[in-house]
Structures are given as structure tokens and as C-alpha cells.
């Protein structure tokens, strides 16, 4: 009986599946579009739409024992698309969330293709929750637990002790502190600092005001 229900669930309503896939992809794409991301409204709609079409093709072609082959190829193709929106800029990497959105849009399209409308709807709702609501949680975490790698040039070795004491005074945690000497006889301090954003900004202001600090970057 379960097999009969499953077959009916998969082999019917192809037109409905196509329109639902465009709708679900557009909903996800709208969230990305209003944030100005590289993969936005049309891109995610097409990815979800295309995944549904390929899933429909997998059973219309009459492939029974190897349906997972087309599904695996969908995942591979989506992986190439996702890699194209990931960019590295110096020490930061951007586009990972958008790449994950492409991945989940394809998965939702596949769910629609096999007739799992309820699971697809739940997936869209949870995806929007992760992309939108949890963004505020991410901001809260980033504000309180920022990590910065500082490279500071000091005019003398004694200033490194003052630097360590000042980090403690600001309530900042630091580790992997390394001290070396540059070719022009300046003391190079490399340190990983963790703390709240406002405290890190105050530490930057303190560094700018010190005559004993030749330069710094992070």
C-alpha cells in the first residue's frame, strides 16, 4: 500500500510541481536579492526549477533502479554553481551563505519533483528562518566574539610589555603572541586578539595615539 501511495505521489501533478518549484525558488531568491547577494531572485528560482525538472525527467525516462544517478548529478552541478559565488578577499571569505542557499534551493526542487510538497514547504520556512531570523543572532555573536590578527611595529622592545598590559586593561583576550625584529630594527608583535567589537575599536584608537607604535594592521 505504501508503494502504491508513493508511486501516485511521484508520478502525478508535474505541472503543479514546476510552478511550485519556481515559487519556492523565488521566495528564497527574494531574501538573497534584498541583501544584494550575487545569486538572487532569478538565479535561485531557476536552480529550484531546474532541479525539479531533472527529478521529473528521472522517472519519466523510466529509470527505476538508478534514480539516484540523476540526483547525484544534480548535486554535482549545483556544487559548481555554488563554488562560483564564493570569493576570497585577503583574510575574509564571502559568498558561503549564498552558495549554501543554492544548495538548499536545489534540494527543495528535488523534494518538489518527487511530490513531497509538505517537506518542501517546511524546508522553505526553515531556510528563511536561518537566512533571515538567525542573521540577528549571527550579528550578536560577531559583535561579542570578534577575532583579529594584529601585526604591530614597535619602536622598542619595552613597549611590548605596555601593549600586553593594555590588552588586559581593555578586557581583551589574546594568544599566540609572537615577537620578532624587522629588517629596519623595529620590534614586530603578532598577536591574536578576541573580544567585543567596541573594545577592539577602543584598542585601535589607543594604538593610533601611541608615539611608540610605528604602524599596525589587522
Q: What is the 3-state secondary structure (H, E, C) of the chain?
A: CHHHHHHHHHHCCHHHHHHHHHHHHHHHHHHHHHCCCCCCHHHHHHHHHHHHHHHHHHHHCCCCCCHHHHHHHHHHHHHHHHHCCCEEECCEEECHHHHHHHHHHHHHHHHHHCCCHHHHHHHHHHHHHHHHHHHHHHHHHHHHCEEEEEEEEECCCCHHHHHHHHHHHCCCEEEEEEEEECCCCCEEEEEEEEECHHHHHHHHHHHHHCCCEEEEEC
Total domains in the fold of the chain: 2
Q: Which residue has the higher pLDDT, 59 or 8?
A: 59
The residue among 143, 159, 183 that closes a domain is: 143
Q: Are residues 169 and 61 in the same domain?
A: no
Instruction: Provide the pLDDT for residue 2.
Output: 39
**pLDDT band of 63, cuts 50, 70, 90:** low
The residue among 97, 126, 143 that closes a domain is: 143
Q: Which residue has the higher pLDDT, 100 or 2?
A: 100
- The verdict on pTM exceeding 0.75 is no
Q: Are residues 12 and 92 in the same domain?
A: yes
Instruction: Provide the pLDDT for residue 62.
Output: 66
Q: Are residues 37 and 100 in the same domain?
A: yes
Average pLDDT over every residue of 105-109: 93
Read off the CATH number of the domain in which 158 is found.
Answer: 3.30.70.260
Q: Are residues 84 and 123 in the same domain?
A: yes
Average pLDDT over every residue of 90-105: 80
The boundaries of the domain holding residue 48 are: 2-143
Instruction: Provide the pLDDT for residue 108.
Output: 94
* pLDDT at position 87 over 80: no
Amino acid at each position: 500500500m505504501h508503494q502504491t501511495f508513493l508511486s501516485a505521489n511521484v508520478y502525478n501533478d508535474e505541472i503543479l510541481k514546476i510552478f511550485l518549484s519556481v515559487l519556492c525558488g523565488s521566495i528564497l531568491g527574494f531574501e538573497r536579492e534584498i541583501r544584494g547577494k550575487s545569486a538572487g531572485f532569478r538565479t535561485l528560482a531557476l536552480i529550484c526549477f531546474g532541479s525539479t525538472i531533472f527529478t521529473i525527467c528521472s522517472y519519466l525516462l523510466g529509470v527505476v533502479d538508478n534514480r539516484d544517478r540523476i540526483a547525484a548529478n544534480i548535486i554535482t552541478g549545483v556544487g559548481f554553481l555554488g563554488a562560483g559565488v564564493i570569493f576570497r578577499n585577503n583574510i575574509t571569505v564571502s559568498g558561503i551563505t549564498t552558495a549554501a542557499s543554492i544548495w538548499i534551493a536545489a534540494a527543495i526542487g528535488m523534494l518538489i519533483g518527487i511530490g513531497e510538497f509538505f517537506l518542501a514547504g517546511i524546508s522553505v520556512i526553515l531556510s528563511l528562518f536561518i537566512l533571515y531570523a538567525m542573521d540577528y543572532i549571527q550579528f550578536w555573536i560577531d559583535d561579542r566574539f570578534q577575532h583579529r590578527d594584529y601585526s604591530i611595529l614597535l619602536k622598542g622592545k619595552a613597549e611590548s610589555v605596555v601593549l600586553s598590559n593594555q590588552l588586559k586593561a581593555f578586557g581583551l583576550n589574546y594568544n599566540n603572541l609572537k615577537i620578532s625584529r624587522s629588517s629596519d630594527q623595529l620590534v614586530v608583535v603578532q598577536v591574536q586578539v578576541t573580544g567585543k567589537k567596541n573594545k577592539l575599536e577602543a584598542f585601535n584608537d589607543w594604538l593610533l595615539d601611541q608615539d611608540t607604535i610605528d604602524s599596525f594592521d589587522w
